[in-house]
Amino acid sequence: RLKPFNRLQVILQHLKMSKHTDSTAEVLLEKRGGAGIITLNRPKALNALNLSMIQQIYPQIKTWEQDPETFLIIIKGTGGKAFCAGGDIRAITDAGKVGDRLAQDFFRAEYTLNNAIGTCKKPYVALIDGITMGGGVGLSVHGHFRVATEKTLFAMPETAIGLFPDVGGGYFLPRLSGKIGYYLALTGFRLKGRDVLKAGIATHFVESEKLPALENDLIALKSPSAENIADLLNSYHVKSKVDQEKEFVLDEHMEKINSLFSANSMEEIVKKLKQDGSPFAIKQLETLNKMSPTSLKMTLRQLREGASMSLQDVLTMEYRLSQACMRGHDFYEGVRAVLIDKDQSPRWKPAALEDVSDEFVADCFKPLGNNDLKL
């Protein structure tokens, strides 16, 4: 039998070796077959993304991208409830309040990772099973393939906390059909299941219970090309019958969304909604009324400009906006009202759209000199 000290050494050695598959690690990184697999592993926090996870994922993607034996990258979440419910907002709030570097470092690292996913040379497959919001969207939407399930719940709810739909939202949202992206960005509307595919956010739809089999089949592919991977995903997709008959949740409202949300300013959108007066329009007014007026104006401009920019330029712009939010009032107030005190009654400053000047908004978009995000 091993002496106690030796036994401890053996255990420590074992822990070192199993670091990447250690069930307590926040993110698991492993190679199986020809696939690099990233597993977000904070189920209690709905796999929310923090800085240390980003700092592990980014170099691993870069390594796999260069590795001739890695043919694809798969990203997924644990716990069955969420792929990734967003960024670790509370940590950022605490840091921002005291001027801690994390408020800069987090966004810089996160957007750099979003860009690495958007430019990844290896096929990147995100299994967006469960809640996929904010930062979780950034980990998936810029990749080649996004597989939604009946459990997928997508939203960009940032305007409700005094932020804006970042992580490249300014790139992918205005590129969705019609004005869906503007609608999703401003109202934080939630899409479920197959609707995530119909909106153009997911590329495939597969039943949640079929994901382990799909993953095994992806891993078993021998030196696959992007086409081989697409074929495999398609073969699962065509067999998925859940909610196949249902029409897209926004179908009946698309005409209104496209006309009402194509206005040039938030004031004009509000005016058009009031003039429309339909139950749908009134509901949108109620929703927009709860959002940070500063966030709404910032977001509308972000999407209008992002529509014709590269992903890199969008992320650079969004980094400027993130730092403007860290300097401002509404982000801290929104996080307090929605996530901390949960009284759901944020007191926005300014409280009305009219009081958010164009000069103030323009200021949020100004370059940060040496502090700009460089991609």
Task: Report how far Cα 269 is from the mean position of its chain's Cα atoms.
Answer: 25
On the CB side of 275, how many CA atoms lie within 13 Å of its CA? 9
pLDDT tens for 193-228 read 999 999 999 999 999 999 999 999 999 999 999 999
Averaged pLDDT for residues 57-67: 98
Relative to beta strand 35-40, strand 72-77 is parallel
What pLDDT is attached to residue 355?
Answer: 98
Distance from C-alpha of 328 to C-alpha of 8, rounded to nearest angstrom:
51
User: Which pTM value belongs to this model?
Assistant: 0.93
Q: Indicate if the pLDDT at residue 11 is higher than 80.
A: no
Share of the chain above pLDDT 70, in %: 94
What are the pLDDT digits (tens) for 328-369? 999 999 999 999 999 999 999 999 999 999 999 999 999 999
Q: How far is CA 126 from CA 40, 64, 372, in A?
A: 11, 16, 29
Least confident of 9-13, 176-180, 356-360: 9-13
Q: Which residues are catalytic?
A: 87, 135, 158, 166
Mean pLDDT within 94-103 = 92
The pair of three-digit structure tokens given for residue 132, joined into one six-digit string: 């996929």
Report the pLDDT averaged over residues 84-102: 93
Prior bond of 367 cis (ω within 30°): no
Task: Report the pLDDT value the prediction gives residue 105, as an integer from 0 to 100.
Answer: 95
Residue 175: per-residue pLDDT: 98
Both tokens of residue 154? 């997508």
Task: Please report the pLDDT score of residue 6 as a whole number.
Answer: 62
Q: What is the pLDDT of residue 279?
A: 97
Element (H, E) at 76: strand 72-77
Beta strand 191-192 pairing with 204-205: unpaired
The answer to whether residue 12 scores a pLDDT higher than 80 is no
Query: What per-residue string of b and e applies to 139-158 under the rule 16 or more CB within 10 Å gives b?
Result: bbbbbbbbbbbbbbbbbbbb
The yes-or-no verdict on residue 2 having pLDDT over 60 is no
Q: In this structure, what are the phi and psi dihedrals at residue 70, rounded to the nearest 5 degrees?
A: -105, 120
> What pLDDT is attached to residue 13?
58
Three-point CA angle 193, 197, 200, nearest 5°: 140
- Give per-residue burial for 38-72: e unless 16+ CB within 10 Å, then b: bbbbbeebbbbbbbebbebbbebbeebbeeeebbb
Residue 22 confidence (pLDDT): 60
- For 230-272, how does the pLDDT look when each residue is reduced to its tens digit (9 = 90+)? 999 999 999 999 988 899 999 999 999 999 999 999 999 999 9
- Residue 188 clears pLDDT 80, i.e. is over it: yes
How far is residue 221 CA from its own chain's centroid?
28
Which pLDDT tens digit goes with each residue over 303-323? 999 999 999 999 999 999 999
Describe the crossing of helices 311-327 and 102-118 by its angle, rounded to 10 degrees.
Answer: 160
Q: What percent of the chain has pLDDT over 90?
A: 93
User: How would residue 24 be classed by pLDDT, with cut points 50, 70 and 90?
Assistant: confident
Q: What mean pLDDT value characterizes the chain?
A: 95
The two three-digit tokens of residue 150, written as one number: 């009946």
What's the half-sphere exposure (Cβ side, CA atoms, 13 Å) at 269?
A: 26
> What is the reported pLDDT for 98?
92
Residues 6 or more apart from 115 whose CB is under 8 A from it? 142, 168, 311, 312, 315, 375
Domain segments of the chain as ranges: 25-244+251-371
Q: Which amino acid is at 332?
A: Y
Q: What is the CATH number of domain 25-244+251-371?
A: 3.90.226.10
Q: Is the pLDDT of residue 20 over 60?
A: no
pLDDT-derived band at 117, boundaries 50, 70, 90: very high
Q: What is the mean pLDDT of residues 54-72?
A: 97
pLDDT at 17 over 80: no
pLDDT band at 5 (very low <50, low <70, confident <90, very high): low
Max CA pair span of the chain:
83
For residue 127, the cross-strand partners are: 147
